[in-house]
Amino acid sequence: MSILSGKNILLGISAGIAAYKTASLVRLFVKAGANVKVVMTPTSKEFVTPLTLSTLSKNPVFSSFTSEDDDNDVWNSHVDLGLWADLMIIAPATANTLSKMANGVCDNLLLATYLSAKCPVYFAPAMDLDMYKHPTTLRSFNVLKSFGNIMIPATSGELASGLVGEGRMSEPEDIMSFLEHDILDKLPLKGKKVLITAGPTYEAIDPVRFIGNHSSGKMGFEIAKQAANLGAEVILISGPTSQTISHSFIKIVPIISADDMYNAVHSYFNDIDIAILSAAVADFKPKHVASQKIKKKENTLTLELEKTKDILASLGAIKKKQYLVGFALETNDELENAKGKLKTKNLNLIVLNSLNDKGAGFKSDTNKVTFIDDKQKVNEFQLKSKADVAKDLMNEIIKQINA
């Protein structure tokens, strides 16, 4: 999966012959899983039609401050567009548009949106050879880069004039590659390996029955997604769950039992930078597993249970450089119990959630957590979606490891 998946991409198109390439660029963005909106200068519509771009992006195309809708004028807010975008790319960026951007000229919707954007802005110049090398154009490049905008350099090739030289807009595939590499290089967890456990474990009673719990795995999968989106290489060790995930940075290792999880975690742990154990591992398992299905002969059935291996404690005992995070699901004396686990299991951070909090715990899409670090600092959060909890957790870990 591309690092652009799920991103809101705002594509600005100015009036150059290279605008014909933007149809392919939009298609590549959508194929990568991005949400795409297009803003055009009025004249750029002479080079590529809004209908084409709207069809490919599956969104309306904007080119003026108002548009007609059932005989009513509808305001197209440049502010809303700028706030919506996770990144903005202006391609092609003509000499005219670049000069206006560099000097704060705001005479169309695209330029107003650019001035309103809070996200990273990329620009891909496209113009003829002499225009590309003209001192005023070079000054525009330098001014825009000094503003923090990112230039996708033009390439050399045959130009619309028939000349051969620098000024040709990068091909759509090269623009995609540039964006992906630039974003990845700036991600805070690039080069880090993160191990995450998720879901329940099933402890066999016989070939048919097992002891399990109500964990859905949602929390662990959201953490894995967030870690991967921050650039980490993720090993996701998951018990039985209906959760799915597709990301090129995530390797899923399916397991069934607590012993399976113990072995899998230890096989990866030495090479890991961060380990987050969010799985609901069974504390006990049947001491004897029947080789055949137990028949219902009596009114009662007695099972002898024995403790499973404490995976979190075993990692705390051997950790060296790893940043180790555990989860504590409690029903009473929550804070005291969590602090106890933090210390006895040699953790860097523990995430506490209580079944007494409505909307927290198993199966739900929300969670209410408290972070406690190894300096006994307590940070309590309100009820949030598990996706937002995952973001809070990864932000806390990044802050801690960079402290």
A 10 A CB-CB count for 280 gives 23
- Which is nearest to 15 in space by CA: 45, 54, 52? 45
Q: Residues 175, 179, 181, 183: what is their CA dihedral angle, to the nearest 10 degrees? A: 180
326, 345 in Cβ contact below 8 A? yes
Which residue of the set 59, 213, 263, 346 is catalytic? 213
The helix or strand, by DSSP H or E, that contains position 344, with its residue range, turns out to be: helix 334-344
Q: Residues 250, 253, 256, 259: what is their CA dihedral angle, to the nearest 10 degrees? A: -120
d(CA 247, CA 251): 8
Q: Is-catalytic flag, 96?
A: no
Hey, which bits of 308-362 come out as E strands? 323-330, 349-354
Q: Give residue 292's identity as a one-letter amino acid code.
A: Q
Report the sign of the C-alpha dihedral through residues 244, 250, 251, 255, in that order.
Answer: negative
- Which is nearest to 197 in space by CA: 351, 400, 366? 351
Report the sign of the C-alpha dihedral through residues 396, 400, 401, 403, in that order.
Answer: positive
Distances (CA, A) of 123 to 90, 201, 297: 5, 50, 75
Phi, psi of 302 (to 5 degrees): -105, 125
355, 363 in Cβ contact below 8 A? no
Residues assigned a catalytic role: 213
